[in-house]
Amino acid sequence: MDEYRKLFPATVWTPYRQLRQSSQVVFVSLNGLSPIKEDVFVTVPLPDHQGVYPFRLAFPRFVPRPVDLAYAEVQIPDGSRVVASGRTARVEDVTAIARKNLDDRIARISAKAIARALAKYAAAEAAQRAAKKSKNEGSRP
């Protein structure tokens, strides 16, 4: 115990006997909504042999939703008087966690979106060349 007292000198240490005589209320209030994930679309023009090919890319973003309740208050009555009371405090900011998670993954998500658009473009070009080749071969005598 002395080791911890040295490590954390500003901490007030309550003796175990005193703790046994006290009590603690833990009140969990699950309120508020997680943010909504929506796509933001960006169209990027790419010049090609036919003019300009428009790439449509989708990138996610989170839209926070407001919380109507700032806090909850818990009161412990004893007859006509309140013997103890307390307010809830935010423990987890779900919106901040979701944003951080998205920020950590956005480079990978963007790379996948660009690769997907390029693959679609390449597939469309290949199909167009195959159709043109088939049409040219079919028109020969």
pLDDT in tens, 22-51: 877 888 888 888 899 999 999 989 888 888
Is 5 contained in some domain? no
Is 1 contained in some domain? no
Specify the pLDDT at position 132.
Answer: 86
**Count of the separate structural domains present in the chain:** 1
Per-residue pLDDT for 79 more than 60? yes
Is 30 contained in some domain? no
Specify the pLDDT at position 16.
Answer: 84
Specify the pLDDT at position 41.
Answer: 95
- Where would I find the H helices in the chain? 2-7, 16-20, 94-138
How large is the average pLDDT for residues 13-30? 84
Nearest alpha-carbon partner for 29 in 98, 96, 89, 93: 89
Is 13 contained in some domain? no
End-to-end CA distance of the chain: 98
Helices H / strands E in the chain, number of each: 3, 4
Is 107 contained in some domain? yes
What is the CA 81 to chain-centroid distance, rounded? 44
Per-residue pLDDT for 13 more than 60? yes
**DSSP-assigned beta bridge partners for residue 86:** 74
Q: Whole-prediction pTM value?
A: 0.59
Per-residue pLDDT for 136 more than 60? yes
State the residue range of the domain holding 122.
36-138
Is 121 contained in some domain? yes
Instruction: Place 61 in a pLDDT band, splitting at 50, 70 and 90.
Output: very high
